[in-house]
Each structure stands twice: as structure tokens, then as C-alpha cells.
Amino acid sequence: MLEQAVRAVFDLTPSDMIRALGLDRPIFARFCNYGHFTHQDAPWEQTDMAATLMDACKQMSQRVRNG
């Protein structure tokens, strides 16, 4: 169900992932020290879509329950 929700919420085409994560901007120099995780300002660490993803999961769960 999570995979289906991710596919419904996010455009997973290469061009949209580049756009959404800002991968075409030269921002990576500040993230290359000490690993690339837990940098609060890194685009891939943002959780602004969490509520939208949760709502999609809830909607899909309701559909499964209602048959």
C-alpha cells in the first residue's frame, strides 16, 4: 500500500525527481562532508509531503476495506 501511495503522490520520472530535489543546482558541496544524511536543509531530508503521503495511504486503506 505504501508503494502505491508513493506512486500516486510523487512523480517518479527522472526529470521530476531532478526538479523536486533540486539536483540541477550546485548545492552538494555543503553536504559532502560527514555523509549526506541528517542535513536539515538538504532537499531529500524534507518532510513537507509526509501529511499528503499519509492521506493517500488512508484513502487507499479505506478503498481496500470497502472492497
Q: What is the mean pLDDT of residues 44-56?
A: 91
Are the C-beta atoms of 60 and 9 separated by less than 8 Å? no
pTM of the model: 0.66
Query: Do 42 and 31 contact (CB within 8 A), yes or no?
Result: yes
Residue 28 has pLDDT above 80, yes or no: no
Identify the band that residue 36 occupies on the pLDDT scale cut at 50, 70 and 90. low
Helices 50-66 and 2-9, packing angle to 10 deg: 120
Longest pairwise C-alpha distance within the chain: 50
